[in-house]
């Protein structure tokens, strides 16, 4: 299979994302991870842009030994000089020079004519060749460049010594079929194209960067420029993980391969996310939190029977921990049953029906049910003690200038009793009202509350320890309403006292 070279530009193009910036140590840490990932070329930065940037590129170039290190330079001598100063200690340095070739850019950015732009492009390549034979040239905004002029530019820079010609869709303007045809036409209309590698650099303004990159590969491109997580200017660039896994997953169709160690994809994604502060969106392909998550009952049932029903790649292949079954109200019985088995619970059918009802009740209140939620439900619904008293109703009125008052309705032997009490706080008021109904003389020894899971909708688990007639009893309950959880936990402790159950 033909190899596709991966030109990784997170340290240069990715750094242009709004709010993103790397210090030299950040760049080195990412570059070393990219080396472990197995990319072919690391574009380390734009050396002429600042003294700090030049030093950062120099640091990367001096440390990376397993892949080529590139720097970007406009088609002017000072840029190329700075580029070489930063790259000269690299094992395989590449100078990447560029100039815009579309009439829009020529007119409004340069105020020049096409012939002068062509001359500048050729001169830049010739000048860069004095430093290294590894020179790449990009005609910026190629997707909006007149094709005939584009062919002339590409032919001329190859004649001048460029070994890679990169065709960029700088503003993410092209559609996949259109981009395929442009790359194919470059290959067919540039006489000396066989002397250079065709590369592509696609932006994501229309959400087509990855699709265009794959189309270009099908048309004959042998290098793809991309970034981790698709970071970059405006809407970003083609995503490395998407391109590499498309090639890997559809290798029989594409008949292409890369040198990337795909098991390092997830680690690399998380490192770049951490150092940029740009979080990976949950539905991001390959590396998003939901990329291998399943929630709908039909999907979960299929996954449990055979993962290939709804997964075209294994999460372990890219270094992720594995697929995730997300329990919601739509997940179905099979998903709940499977999760309970994995947690070590083997419930009888009668107990499972009770569990499923309690699960649905909680799922209607929360978007997602976690393992800790299920453990709590099992403890409350399946292994609960006999109820002498059960809570039917609790209502609390409280505020910073209001005396907390609680009303409870409690059932005992089919009869409901109601009491209202006030207290130092809402929980104290509830407990005094419960004491009034149950006629117990309980002393509260300990009260604790914790969040079972994260988020605003998390279950709050309350644990209380009380003393009645010299003996201690513990009660525990959980709810998205902490007042309700507090009342039920207290009642469970009282119920233990009623059946003379030892503390747990």
377 shares its domain with 407: no
CB half-sphere exposure, 207, CA atoms < 13 A: 2
Q: Looking at residues 282-295, what average pLDDT do you find?
A: 79
**HEC string for 460-488:** EEEEEEEEECCEEEEEEEEECCHHHHHHH
Range of the domain at 338: 293-381
pLDDT tens column, 34-62: 999 999 999 999 999 999 999 999 999 99
Q: Looking at residues 219-240, what average pLDDT do you find?
A: 97
Residue 131: predicted pLDDT:
98
Residue 500: predicted pLDDT:
58
- Tokens for 38, please give them: 């197995």
327 shares its domain with 417: no
User: Which of the two residues, 308 and 502, has the higher pLDDT score?
Assistant: 308
Give the pLDDT band (50/70/90) at residue 365.
confident
| Number of independent structural domains in the chain | 3
Give the pTM. Answer: 0.73
The residues near 383 (Cβ < 8 Å, ≥ 6 apart) are none
Sign for the CA dihedral angle at 301, 303, 305, 311 comes to positive
CATH number of the domain that 396 lies in? 3.30.160.270
Residue 279: predicted pLDDT:
86
- Tokens for 101, please give them: 């070739």
Instruction: With respect to residue 281, please indicate whether it lies within any of the assigned structural domains.
Output: no
Q: Is the pLDDT of residue 441 over 60?
A: yes
Is 384 in a helix, a strand, or coil? Answer: coil
Residue 303: predicted pLDDT:
61
Q: Which helix (H) or strand (E) holds 16?
A: none
CATH number of the domain that 86 lies in? 3.20.20.70
Quote the CA–CA distance of 449 and 417 in Å, as a whole number.
Answer: 27
Quote the CA–CA distance of 6 and 311 in Å, as a whole number.
Answer: 25
Residue 501: predicted pLDDT:
45
Quote the CA–CA distance of 297 and 275 in Å, as a whole number.
Answer: 37
227 shares its domain with 83: yes
By CB atoms closer than 10 A (0-12, 13-18, 19+), residue 303 is buried
* Backbone φ and ψ of 7, nearest 5°: -100, 105
Give the pLDDT band (50/70/90) at residue 469.
confident
Instruction: With respect to residue 446, please indicate whether it lies within any of the assigned structural domains.
Output: yes
Of 276, 308, 323, which marks where a domain is finished?
A: 276
373 shares its domain with 458: no
């Amino acid at each position: 299979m033909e190899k596709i070279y991966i030109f990784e530009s997170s340290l240069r193009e990715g750094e242009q994302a709004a709010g993103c910036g790397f210090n030299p140590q950040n760049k080195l840490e990412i570059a070393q991870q990219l080396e472990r990932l197995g990319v072919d070329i690391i574009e380390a930065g734009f050396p002429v842009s600042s003294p700090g940037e030049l030093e950062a590129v120099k640091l990367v170039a001096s440390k990376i030994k397993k892949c080529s290190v590139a720097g970007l330079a406009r088609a002017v001598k000072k840029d190329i000089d700075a580029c070489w100063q930063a790259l000269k200690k690299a094992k395989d340095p590449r100078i990447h020079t560029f100039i815009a070739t579309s009439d829009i850019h020529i007119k409004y950015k340069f105020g020049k004519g096409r012939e002068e732009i062509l001359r500048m492009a050729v001169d830049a390549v010739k000048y860069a060749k004095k430093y290294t034979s590894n020179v790449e040239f990009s005609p910026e905004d190629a997707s909006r460049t007149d094709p005939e002029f584009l062919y002339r530019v590409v032919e001329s820079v190859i004649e001048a010594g460029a070994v890679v010609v990169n065709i960029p869709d700088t503003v993410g303007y092209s559609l996949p079929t259109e981009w395929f045809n442009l790359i194919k036409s470059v290959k067919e209309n540039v006489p000396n194209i066989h002397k250079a590698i065709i590369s592509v650099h696609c932006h994501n303004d229309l959400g087509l960067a990855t699709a265009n990159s794959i189309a270009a590969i099908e048309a004959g491109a042998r290098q793809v420029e991309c970034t981790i997580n698709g970071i970059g200017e405006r809407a970003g660039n083609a995503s490395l993980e998407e391109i590499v896994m498309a090639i890997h997953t559809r290798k029989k169709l594409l008949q292409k391969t890369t040198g990337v160690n795909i098991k390092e994809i997830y680690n690399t994604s998380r490192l770049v996310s951490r150092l940029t502060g740009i979080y990976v969106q949950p539905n991001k392909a390959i590396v998003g939190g939901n990329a291998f998550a399943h929630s709908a009952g039909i999907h979960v049932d299929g996954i449990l029977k055979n993962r290939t029903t709804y997964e075209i790649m294994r999460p372990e292949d890219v270094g992720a921990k594995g697929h995730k079954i997300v329990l919601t109200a739509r997940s179905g019985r099979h998903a709940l049953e499977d999760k309970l088995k994995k947690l070590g619970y083997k419930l009888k059918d009668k107990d499972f029906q009770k569990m499923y009802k309690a699960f649905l009740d909680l799922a209607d209140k929360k978007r997602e049910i976690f393992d800790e939620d299920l453990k709590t439900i099992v403890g409350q619904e399946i292994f609960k003690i006999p109820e002498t008293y059960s809570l039917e109703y609790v209502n609390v009125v409280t505020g910073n200038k209001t005396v907390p008052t609680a009303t409870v309705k409690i059932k005992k032997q089919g009869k409901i009793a109601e009491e209202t009490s006030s207290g130092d706080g809402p929980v104290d008021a509830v407990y005094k009202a419960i004491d009034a109904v149950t006629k117990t003389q309980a002393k509260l020894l300990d009260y604790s509350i914790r969040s079972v899971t994260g988020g605003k909708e998390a279950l709050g688990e309350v644990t209380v320890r009380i003393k009645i007639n010299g003996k201690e009893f513990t009660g525990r309950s959980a709810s998205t309403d902490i007042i309700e959880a507090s009342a039920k936990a207290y009642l469970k402790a009282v119920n233990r006292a009623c059946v003379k159950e030892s503390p747990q």
